[in-house]
Structure 1
Amino acid sequence: MPALTRIKGWRSAAPERMYSTWFRSIFGHMTAGSDRSVLLIGGSGVFGSRLAEALIRDDVATVTIAGRSRAALDRVAGRLGCDAVVLDVTGDDLSGRLRELSPWLVIDAAGPFQAYSGDEPYRLARAALSVGAHYFDLSDDAAFTAGIGVLDDAAKEAGLAVISGVSSVPALSSAAVRAMSDDIERIDLIESMILPGNRAPRGRSVMAAILSQAGQPLPGTPEHGWVGSERVRIETGDGHHLTRLASPIGAPDLVLMPERFGAREVRFRAGLELATMHRGLELVAGAVRIGLIRSALPLLRVLHPAARLLERLGTDVGAMRVTLRGVTRSGNAVERVWTLTAAAGDGPHVPAIPGRVLVNRLSQGETPPGARACLDDVSLTECERAAPERAL
């Protein structure tokens, strides 16, 4: 078995922030020298590095970031003050490699989870179970997250938690729905929407996930990814608003929320801030829809660099909105809206928030064993408190 390459980082001199104090007061404190270690796959990426940063500050376990690019790992490990390993999860003897590292928890923040297909989409989760490690992922793919229950028996037998979708969707979106539906008798509609600012960094995996859905049928709906759009207005709560284009895309919510919440209809929308980029993606999606091209994914090689060139345009302000319509137990028809806005380029921190909460919960023994989608494991209050220092 080839040896793992380790990259040693250095400790940042940045001061502790108030949110670390809050987490320690709620969840208790463990020193980084404890035997609990987190192996964070994709820890040098856009979302993984934000999650690694939060976990290191909370100091509930040692954090090792992992990935395939030595240079990227070196940069992030040096900035965060953690160890890193060069690790290809598609390589041979994955269980053996994890056994060498002996993690308490494996987190997959790499993706794109739409590409985790074939005979064994849960290869990493199974490998984690085989070495006695818990497993979380930041999947935003409906099929992958909905199917994680195939590991439920094995996870319960091992006394381990295997949780998929520990991200903006479905973890944060479902937390918002639960918070708004305590007195709801019937839910007619759940609509979630994510509208990032153009200056927010977009990694290659994020772009791949976007293109893989373009023109493809969406589960649980008659719609196709990125085909058709509407102009939406989101109030930011400070007297301002965002006006963006939004199109249907796939998300775990479409498959999981009808059963979990008894919702009659579930929609999911996303949009690109620059109208020219959004309309261009619509054209590509339309070409896939009518069969002119089989998939938009091969365009990643061209479109990812092009998107990087346009990063200076637009703003760094994004938003997430969850809307619930239904009827209360007293018979009143209601519409309730939860909105999160992210300024100063802090949008990429949002997908890391549920993971941060759940790792702290796991460290306190508050996460039951079993394999499931992250629909009920974090509360909206916890998630909102997890980022008080950010421009959220």
Structure 2
Amino acid sequence: MRWSVLLLGAYGLFGARIAARLAREAGWRVLLAGRDARQAQRLADTLRAAADCRAELTAVAVDAQSAGLAALLRAERPDLVINCAGPFQGRDHAVPRECLLAGAHYVDLADGRDYVRDFGPALDALAHEHHLLAVCGASSVPGLSAAVVDRYRGDFAALHGVHMGISPGNRTERGLATVAAILSYVGRPLPWRRGGAEYAVHGWQQLQRRRYAGAGLRWLAACDVPDLDLFPVRYGLAELSFRAGLELRRLHFGLWLLSWLVRAGLVRDLAAHAGTLKRASEWFLRAGSDCGAMHVELHGLDAQGRPLQRCWEIAAADGDGPQIPATPAVVIAGKLARGEIARRGARACVDLFTLEECLASLGGFAIRTRYG
């Protein structure tokens, strides 16, 4: 099988993990792309030296937001583009549009709510015209979170609410794009649901404590994710919330304090300080752990009309947490290459893989799940 993938943001936090897994695919050509040619080449050399490398790897220098992308697409004609070059908050859909015009399927890891919401309406006609699949949000949210709800909603005669959260380990590597994405919504209004109606909360407020098996006690706060727009329509939910948290209290509550400055209008663009705040957080890298966790809690009624609540958790150790958001794109790439996805058009990352397929792809990492 000959299959060509262009990986944008290849040496970043998630891109490097996707690259390592795609490199194992025999007969594949993987273009490792980023703005820095030396970093891209260094990644290619490292992956080639691995015993399980079976793909053809080529380092490419390109800025995904420049005209150089269109030229690269015309020259290389990849079958698929995977875009890890976030953050996606505030971005338009120019990159996926260029990929579709060049005849390539497209997958990204976007977690920007507006970007994901508008993705289908902006690109669906073009994707169908070229008989291609364009997918956004192939990450922990909404890709994995939707797969979890789809897997377990059959346990309920009526599903009323979904409450989710995620907390990475402090020693786990953090990417600048991820930090910028978080800071973009801190202190800003977010649409949660309660009693069948939408109500506003503010990013990194609505504090809550939760104990995870394998990751311990964590503080969580309101987080902006595409699920807040997608799930009420997809599942008809009366209640919906999503929280995220930092393992170290000094960092979690420091960000909570900053959320009040944004909410009061004293700070306009916290994401503009992402580099500074990321470096400050790295002063404490020796504290905490390399264990992260995510939960999806469902509640509703059973077949007898009695209240029912269930919770799915996934926990990662040994710094393997970033493998979780990297996995949906890997699964979709493999299924497209094998001709196992017939759908075409532009859509959020739902209905394209099962929870079991995702967990099977995570085999070999220090990751475990539980449901009950």
Is the TM value for this pair above 0.5?
A: yes
Pick aligned residue for 2:295 from 321, 325, 342:
321
* Secondary structure class of the residue paired with 1:231: strand
Does the 8 Å contact 2:4/2:79 carry over to 1?
yes
User: How far did 1:85 drift?
Assistant: 0.6
Instruction: Give the alignment partner of residue 355 of structure 1, picking from 299, 308, 329.
Output: 329
Give per-residue Cα distances to partners, 1:323-373, cap 9 Å, x unaligned: 101113442321111111000000011111111111111112222111100
**Contact 2:176 / 2:275 at 8 angstroms: preserved in 1?**
no
Q: Which runs of 5+ in 2 are unaligned?
A: 49-56, 193-198, 368-372
Which aligned pairs between 1:277-356 and structure 2 lie closer than 5 A? 277-356=251-330
Say whether the 8 Å CA contact 2:90–2:115 is kept in structure 1: no
Structure 2 counterpart of 1:263, which letter?
A: L
Letter in 1 for 2:223: I
Deviation at 1:54, TM superposition (A): 1.1
Query: TM-score if structure 1 supplies the norm length?
Result: 0.87
Q: Tell me the distance in 1 between the aligned counterparts of 2:191 and 2:110.
A: 16
Q: Map of 1:140-219 to 2, 5 A cutoff?
A: 140-150=111-121, 151-219=123-191
CA distance in 2 between partners of 1:337 and 1:282 (Å): 26
Is contact 1:319-1:342 (8 Å) kept?
Answer: yes
Counterpart in 1 of 2:44?
Answer: 77
Question: What amino acid is aligned across from residue 113 of structure 2 in structure 1?
Answer: A
Q: CA deviation at 1:186?
A: 2.1
| Structure 1 gap segments, 5+ residues each | 1-29
TM-score by length of 2: 0.91
Instruction: Supply the distance in 2 between the matched residues of 1:304 and 1:235 (Cα, whole angstroms).
Output: 27
The whole-number CA distance in structure 2 between the counterparts of 1:41 and 1:192 is 29
Rounded Cα–Cα distance in structure 2 between residues aligned with 1:358 and 1:245: 33
1:264 corresponding residue in structure 2: 238
- How far the C-alpha of 1:235 sits from its partner, in A, is 2.6
Count of matched residue positions in the alignment of Structure 1 and Structure 2? 351
Distance in 2 between residues matched to 1:180 and 1:64, nearest whole Å? 37
Distance in 1 separating the partners of 2:62 and 2:114: 25
Secondary structure of the corresponding residue to residue 238 of structure 2? coil
Supply the AA of the counterpart residue of 1:189. G
Partner letter of residue 83 of structure 1?
Answer: T
In 1, distance between residues paired with 2:40 and 2:285? 23
Distance in 1 of aligned mates of 2:184 and 2:254: 15
In the alignment, is the contact (CA less than 8 A) between 2:159 and 2:300 conserved in 1?
Answer: yes
| Counterparts in 2 of 1:60 and 1:314: CA distance versus 1, 3 Å | farther
The SS at the match of 1:223 is strand
Distance 1:174 1:147 in 2: 18
User: d(CA) in 2 for partners of 1:340 and 1:83?
Assistant: 34
- Distance in 2, matches of 1:126 and 1:334, equals 44
Q: 1:50 matched to which residue of 2?
A: 17
Query: Which residue of the partner structure matches residue 234 of structure 1?
Result: 212
Give distance in 1, aligned partners of 2:90 and 2:10.
18
| CA distance in 1 between partners of 2:180 and 2:236 (Å) | 32
* Per-residue deviation, residues 154-188 of structure 1 (Å, max 9, x unmatched): 11121100011111110100100111111423222
The whole-number CA distance in structure 1 between the counterparts of 2:43 and 2:283 is: 23
2:70 to 71, 89, 95: 95
Q: Secondary structure at the match of 1:222?
A: strand
Aligned-residue offset at 1:89:
1.5
Q: How far did 1:60 drift?
A: 6.0
> Which structure dedicates a bigger proportion of its chain to strand?
2
Contact kept? 2:167, 2:293, Cα under 8 Å: yes
Q: What does residue 23 of structure 1 align with?
A: none
Residue type of the partner of 2:268?
R
Alignment of 1:369-384 (within 5 A): 369-384=344-359
Q: Is the 8 A contact 2:99 2:106 kept in 1?
A: yes
Q: Which residue of 2 aligns with 1:17?
A: none
Q: Counterpart in 1 of 2:95?
A: 124
1:39-89 C-alpha deviation (Å, 9 max, x unpaired):
010110010110111111133622111111223212212111221111012
Q: 2:106 aligns with which of 135, 142, 146?
A: 135
Matched, 1:224 2:202: yes
SS at match of 2:146: helix
Q: Distance in 2 between matches of 1:225 and 1:290?
A: 13
The whole-number CA distance in structure 2 between the counterparts of 1:336 and 1:191 is: 11
Q: Are 1:192 and 1:267, in contact at CA under 8 Å, matched by a contact in 2?
A: yes
CA contact (8 A) 1:161 1:369 kept: yes
The alpha carbon displacement at 1:93 in A equals 5.4
Q: Percentage identity across aligned positions?
A: 41
CA distance in 2, matches of 1:255, 1:49: 29
- Separation in 2, partners of 1:137, 1:269: 22
